[in-house]
Amino acid sequence: MDGRMELLRQIQILEFVMYDAALYLDTHPCDEAALNYFHHYRKIKEKAVAEFAACYGPLTMDTVESKNKWTWIEKPWPWEMGA
């Protein structure tokens, strides 16, 4: 569970970075440095999300790997922490 939380935290940090950059890029679409920044973290995030799906289950439907069981509904749902 700890490894899961740690990797999830990494993904949350990476997505925060990407989303902040994306909001800036919305109004500065030709800023090359910001674009490079976005794509740099995008690559790292994609790797982290794939690793998470492989080890702990899917975060998005398109990363559901299992062929014999629908793992999307496996707990925990995001709001179920700390019980």
Residue ranges binding another protein (CB under 8 A): 5, 8-9, 11-12, 15-16, 18-19, 22-23, 26-27, 29, 42, 45-46, 49-50, 58-63, 72, 77-79, 81-83
DSSP classification of residue 82 = T
CA neighbor of 23 nearest in space, from 38, 41, 4: 38
Q: How far is the CB of 81 from another protein (least distance, A)?
A: 4
Q: How far is the CB of 69 from another protein (least distance, A)?
A: 16
DSSP conformation letters of 28-77? -TT-HHHHHHHHHHHHHHHHHHHHHHHHH--SSGGG---SSS-GGGPSPP
Cβ-based nearer residue to another protein, 44 or 68: 44
Q: How far is the CB of 68 from another protein (least distance, A)?
A: 20
